Every structure is written in C-alpha cells, then in structure tokens.
Amino acid sequence: MEVVKTIAELKKIVKKVKQDGKTIGLVPTMGYLHEGHMALATEARKENDFVIMSFFVNPTQFGPNEDYESYPRDLERDKKIAESVGVDVIFAPSVEEMYPTDGGIRIHAGRQATILCGASRPGHFDGVLQVVTKLFHLAEPTRAYFGQKDAQQAAIISTLVRDFNFPLEIRTVPIVREEDGLAKSSRNVYLSPAERKEAPAIYRGLKRAKEEYLLSKNAEKTIQVAKDYILSNTSGRIDYIELLSYPDLQQVDEKTDQFVLAAAVFIGKTRLIDNIIFTKEGETENV
Ligand code: PAF
C-alpha cells in the first residue's frame, strides 16, 4: 500500500491504473477509521481492481463552532487499518494541497441540504460537495463509496453525480452498528461512559417508530413515538427526527415507496446521527 500526500503523485498513479484498463473504487473519509469505513473499503475491494482511500478532515464542511480542530486524527493507526482491508493507495493531502487558492467559487447543495442536518449545519453540504467534486476529478473513480449513516450526504452526492453527469457510480453501504445497536461513528469517542450507555436508545427509538409507521401510516405519530422513546431513555436533546422519502428527501405521501427515518440527537455535547431506510413493505437492511 502506498501513501501519497500530493495531487501530482495521486494523478500519476491514477493515470497508470487507467492506462492498464482497471476500475477504481474511491472511499472518501475524514480518517479515524472504524468498522463503518472498513465496510466501505471491503465493498470497494470486492467491486474494483484498484482501491483509493482518502483521508482529509475537510475544513469547508465544518461550521465556525464545530469540532474541526478537535476532530480525531491518527494517520499511523488509519494506515494499518486501511492496509488490512486491502486499500491500494491512501491519499492524505494537507489543507494547502487541497485548497491552495480561494477564488470564492462554491457549489450550492440546494433543496436537499436545507433540511435535516443541513438545517442546523448551514453550508455543511456545500463543503462536502466541494471536496467530493475535487476528489472525483483527482481519483477518477469508477465507483465511490459512502455510508448509509450519512444518508442525507449520500442522497445529495447522488444528486450531484446525476445532475452534473459525473462518470461514476455512487454506492451506499449499510450502517455498521455496535452490538447494542449504536451506529459506529468517529465521534463516539467523545461520549463519556454514562453517555455511551444511553446512546443506543436512539436506534431503539427509531426501530419502534418504524413499526408505528408500518401500522398507522401516520408520519406525525411516528415521529412522536421516536421522540418520546429517546427523551424518556436518554438525557439527550433532540436536534431533529424526521420521516421523509428517500433518496429525494420530500414529505411522505401514499405514493412514497422508500422512506428514511432520520435522527440527530445531542447526547451531552456530542451530536449523534442515525437512520433507518425502509420500504413501504417494511424491508430494511438494518433491522
Ligand atoms: O462522510 C465523510 O466522512 C465526509 O463528509 C466526506 C464524504 C469524506 C467528505 O469530507
């Protein structure tokens, strides 16, 4: 496995891989890998001849009061994990390498970014689209891999790829969970032992709410079930709980055939997100 830090080095490798007629799987990450990232890389390994994983804590997707500075970073640890899942090249650029100039041009993420996490993190998805656009141009992937835990992000990136005709396929990989149901996340390290105990109630609340929706088809009641469960089983503060169509993220109606039930909850100071995607028959990959 090779580790490259510059765009020039990455482009040289990509050129050679393309000349050899090989497919490329790209796994964009902000590092501090957990089993969720490993699942993305494993899927990329299965489906492509060559796997590139990027590590870049992207400053443009963090708000002024968010955890950009304190976001966990450990390249040496991440290298070992990436190697163990068969990554061929790590791309770990500096901020100066990725953003040497600022001409002020931004990509505006649009309607899908005004709700859910976008409502409380203005500009976040613009920053995500800026960095993935660069990564798509640099790595020229055949397929790019994103986790379902960030379901809104995967939906918005799919819209970017569709609307701007990027020649690649977006693959969304199911959420990887701890044994007690908590979705794996780099931010779980922020939780105190007591908060860590409470946190799985988010997923349990979502599961109960999904069952409610399948019975009553009542979106308001569904959201209330999740809220009541989470508030009575944690000391948390709810940022949002929403039931929307997926991947277009519109209000649900009788024609909706795929749903996302999504939550963002502050447990102490840590904002955790989770979701369940399910069909109107109740099928989901994450029960
Ligand atoms: O999901 C993430 O880790 C980031 O938002 C991504 C896609 C790597 C862009 O910085």
Domain boundaries along the sequence of the chain: 2-173, 186-278
Q: How far apart are CA 10 and CA 7, in angstroms?
A: 5
Tokens of 231: 């508030």
Taking Cα atoms as reference points, which of 179, 145, 151, 185 lies closest to residue 263?
151
Q: What residues flank ligand 1, with Cβ below 6 Å?
A: 28-30, 58, 61, 128, 131-132, 150, 153
Task: Tell me the CATH number for domain 186-278.
Answer: 3.30.1300.10
Which residues are CB-neighbours of 114 under 8 A, at least 6 positions away? none
Could you tell me which residues are beta bridge partners of residue 173? 147
CB 148 within 8 A of CB 175: yes
Stated length of the chain: 287
Which residues are CB-neighbours of 75 under 8 A, at least 6 positions away? 31, 55, 92
Nearest-CA residue for ligand 1 atom 1 is 29
- Extract the residue ranges of the chain whose pLDDT is less than 70: 285-287
| H helix runs in the chain, sequence order | 7-19, 35-47, 75-84, 95-98, 116-120, 124-139, 151-163, 193-198, 201-216, 219-233
Question: Distances from the Cα of 235 to the Cαs of 93, 197, 223, 261, in angstroms?
Answer: 39, 11, 18, 21
Q: How far apart are CA 169 and CA 24, in angstroms?
A: 11
First-to-final CA distance of the chain: 35
Q: How far apart are CA 8 and CA 17, in angstroms?
A: 14
Nearest-CA residue for ligand 1 atom 5 is 128
Tokens of 163: 């609307």
Q: How far apart are CA 226 and CA 264, in angstroms?
A: 11
Q: Which pLDDT does position 285 carry in this prediction?
A: 64
Active site residues: 37
Question: Phi and psi at residue 259, in whole multiples of 5°?
Answer: -120, 150
Q: For residue 57, which atom of ligand 1 is closest to its CA?
A: 10
Distance 94 CA to ligand 1 centre (A): 15
Domain 2-173 falls under CATH 3.40.50.620: yes
Q: What is the pTM of this model?
A: 0.95
